[in-house]
Chains A and B, each alone.
Chain A
């Protein structure tokens, strides 16, 4: 079975502060991890994929297999980063995604 845990439902930071959204997973094989972002009442958009190791909108995430984590980080939060963030795991050959319950990030001015 595969599981994704995002321990924080809500996260509030001030503009310019560092932000870290936590994601832990449970999967017996080699997972693929993603971060999706959903701005207010919009569709989900892919933010990061662990195998690409890119930095998108200043966000980075590193897969830590020892800690089974894929935390999302940004050194200086911006107000436009306010959104719902979902961590997702894909394992196996059927390409299904398992999502965490999401973290609502609010960046205050």
Chain B
């Protein structure tokens, strides 16, 4: 009963490196979301995908790109990592007006 699976769980990058965070859900949900969680800031929406084939910016999209590869998968890419992107990243999915289900998170440190 996996739900929302994120990989990797931890990652350390150097400034300027690129990487892709992966997210997959097995609940056949149409909508998927990427958040970042920072101390004292709560969760902030980076990008979301209301349905397969569509993506939209959230509150803090700068420095990120996303791809909705298919209904199951929604990846988040950092093209040139910056220390300000050190954070815990959460992926979530939901079906229309149902509550969002979250993954375990990816702890990303950028040196």
Report how many residues on chain B are interfacial, defined by Cβ distance under 8 Å. 26
- Of all chain B residues, the one with the shortest Cβ separation from A48 is B99
Nearest chain B CB to A17 CB, angstrom units: 25
Select which of A46, A94, A102 is within 8 A of B42 by beta carbon. A102
- Does A44 contact B40, Cβ atoms closer than 8 Å? no
Q: Is B102 an interface residue (CB 8 A)?
A: yes
Nearest chain B CB to A84 CB, angstrom units: 9
Within 8 A of A (CB), among B21-54: 31, 33, 35, 40-45, 48, 50
Main secondary structure of the interface of B (DSSP, over half): strand
Q: Is B100 an interface residue (CB 8 A)?
A: yes
**With A9-B40, A101-B40: A95-B96 Cβ-Cβ less than 8 Å:** yes
Nearest chain A CB to B80 CB, angstrom units: 27
- Does A42 contact B40, Cβ atoms closer than 8 Å? no
Report how many residues on chain A are interfacial, defined by Cβ distance under 8 Å. 21
**With A34-B99, A49-B99: A96-B42 Cβ-Cβ less than 8 Å:** no
- Of all chain B residues, the one with the shortest Cβ separation from A44 is B102
Select which of A96, A99, A100 is within 8 A of B48 by beta carbon. A96
Whole-angstrom CA separation of A43 from B35 in the bound complex: 12
> Which residues of B have CB within 8 Å of A34?
99
> Which residues of A have CB within 8 Å of B101?
46
**With A44-B90, A46-B99, A101-B40: A96-B104 Cβ-Cβ less than 8 Å:** no
**With A86-B42, A97-B45: A43-B97 Cβ-Cβ less than 8 Å:** no
Nearest chain A CB to B47 CB, angstrom units: 11
17 more CB-based (< 8 A) A-B contacts, given A44-B102, A46-B99, A46-B100: A34-B99, A36-B102, A42-B104, A43-B90, A43-B104, A86-B43, A94-B50, A94-B56, A95-B50, A95-B94, A96-B33, A96-B48, A97-B33, A97-B45, A98-B45, A99-B35, A101-B42
